[in-house]
Structure 1
Amino acid sequence: MSGDRLTGFTHDGLHFDVRDEGPADGPVVVLLHGFPQTSSSWDGVVPVLHEAGYRTVAPDQRGYSPGARPRGRSSYTLGKLVDDVVALVEQVGAGPVHLVGHDWGAAVAWSVASAHPEVVRTLTTVSVPHPQAFVRALRTPSQLAKSWYMGFFQLPWLPERAMSSPAVSRRMLGRIGMDRAAHERFRREIVQGGALHGGICWYRALPLENPRGLGRRVTVPTTFVWSDADGALGRTGAELTAEYVDAATYRFEVLEGVSHWIPEQEPRRLAEIVLDRVR
């Protein structure tokens, strides 16, 4: 802690870095980043939330915070990632929070809301559909083709070597819309910052999951944001998501012509969608 600000928290023997910004007495919005990024991916979103009176708490998650990089894929199962977020919410001590997640952060947010609805006031997920909807979408040729990298990431050491190459990572991430500035940030924060192995371990832990246990039905008020130019996640999973959310409080927002990297490419539009939900 630094004054009234949370600079980090400890859970499961690991120390996580946290960005705690905005009005200290405002309602809390917890922001979960995806792969291969850190809490800095929300830099364009948080000023809009702060202007509206909300406090934002954005952790660098397991594998990304320097003090939270355990070895071995079993340390990165979804249950452990969920428990990290629940521990953060308890540390903030502001009651149920507004939970927002992008990419892998969305997968974790879905699972937190379904397993621990008592800590979530509202849910906004970005890009990644409900886990059960995604599993069903993987049975289609189009989503299977988009998700080829998930199989590649199961290999030992080779994914780290490939993603550490500027040319290879620029090509792989550029195919799903990452621009040059974001790629430079990836090189600085993830590759040079030592977070690449931990981030890839989130994928390597997937074979340890029970597909039937990947998130139950979500009952908290929820908005799902998907973009139709997302090169990693297709429409099938996005549309199936409605089957796993309480229909009375669910909204599905489609951003046209936007790539996978919604928080960086359309931060104000995303922030306004989040505000519509939390209000």
Structure 2
Amino acid sequence: MRRTALIESDLTRLRLRTPAGTFDAVATGPTSGRRVLLLHGAPESGIEWRHQLRSLAAHGHRAVAPDLRGYSSGVRPTGVAAYRLEHAVQDVVDIADSLGWGRFDLVGHDFGALAGWLAAARHPLRIRTLTAVSAPHPGALAHALRTDPDQRRRWSELDHLRAPDAEHDPLTSGRLARGWPPSVPADRVTRYLRRLAEPGALTAALNWYRANDFTGEYRPVPVPTRFVWGERDEWINHRTARAAAEWATGPYRFAVLPDVGHFAPEEAAGATTDHLLDHLSAH
């Protein structure tokens, strides 16, 4: 692990060396504090969690938010299969090892949450608690895609991101630029889009959608879990969100954020943070 300069006031940039390559990350909080790893969603980056990072640090926790594979320039493999969720699960373990962390708490949003559910199911001796935001357990999503027409319709609205050569279609860039709620500041959207403009980055981001068809076998999560979901989520409906409970065998709570969409960590930063801190304090 190597530290570099401060990126804005109290947030420090890290470079985390792993067998897959070197991940970029942002971090804050005392190194002796309770360890919390936060996984961002698509098409964002670790800085999505800036509000939560600072609040965790203020409560004495050590918080690290990596840019996931494809978003970190040092871990940007070619080929769709490299973006299957099982690789992201291994990345979670490798990043924790790079940090020197044994047990830690895991937080994820969107694809970061999907990876988080799987990581907590496979590594309950390493992961103390899971806080998942917006995306349910992959098993719940897989069942809904087979049986729920409304969920299939919502998910199919992302098909343009899975299309071959979508990264070369000007419509893709336009949709990415316009698809943000007003609560996400324009300068932050610009920052996300600038990262996607790096060589190979947009293809990598789209490969997360192409690589995962949710047809595999899944395990339930035994660690304490809180699932935070916005009732106006465009891509995950209420039935699918509620069904995540069937995939949790440990202490579990489902929290609904009124009038909030899919980008809850930024749309409702305060409420998301409150649930995260409450979950950590309870376990």
What TM-score do the two structures reach when normalised by structure 1?
Answer: 0.90
Contact 2:2 2:15 in 1 (8 A): no
Correspondence for 1:223: 226
Contact 1:106 1:128 in 2 (8 A): yes
Per-residue CA deviation, residues 220-254 of structure 1 (Å, 9 max, x unaligned), is 000000010111111111111111102x5101100
Q: Which residue number corresponds to residue 147 of structure 1? A: 155
Report the equivalent of 1:252. Answer: 254
Amino acid at match of 2:59: A
Per-residue CA distance 1:5-52 (angstroms, 9 max, x = gap): 882223334211122211111101100001000001011221111111
Corresponding residue to 1:212 among 207, 216, 231: 216
SS in 2 for 1:118: coil
Deviations 1:156-193 (A, max 9, x none): 21245246533x3344x24x777562533332232357
**Which letter maps to 1:195?**
A
Tell me whether 1:238 sits opposite 2:245 in the alignment.
no
Q: Summarize the Cα distance change of 1:193–1:45 in structure 2 as closer, same or farther, 3 Å threshold.
A: farther
* RMSD, aligned α-carbons: 2.2
**Which of residues 198, 205, 212 is equivalent to 2:204?**
198
In structure 1, C-alpha distance between the alignment counterparts of 2:110 and 2:168, rounded to whole Å: 19
Name which structure has the greater RCO, CA cutoff 8 Å, separation 6+.
Answer: 1
Instruction: Tell me the secondary structure at the aligned position of residue 169 of structure 2.
Output: helix
Alignment of 1:34 with 2:38, yes or no, is no
* Structure 2, gaps ≥5 residues long: 5-11
> Identity percentage over the alignment?
36
Distance 1:183 1:7, change over 3 A: closer
Find the aligned partners of 1:99 and 1:263 in 2 and give their Cα distance. 15
One-letter amino acid matched to 1:148: S
TM-superposition CA deviations, 1:45-67 (whole Å, max 9, x none): 21111111111011111000011
Q: Is contact 1:177-1:231 (8 Å) kept?
A: no
Matched residue count: 272
Verify: 1:268 aligned to 2:270, yes or no: yes
Q: TM-score, normalised by structure 2?
A: 0.88
How far, CA to CA, are the matches of 1:6 and 1:191 in structure 2? 20
Conserved 8 A contact 1:177-1:261:
no
* Cα contact 2:3–2:14 (8 A) shared by 1: no
Offset, 1:114: 0.6
Q: Which runs of 5+ in 1 are unaligned?
A: none
Residue aligning to 2:7:
none
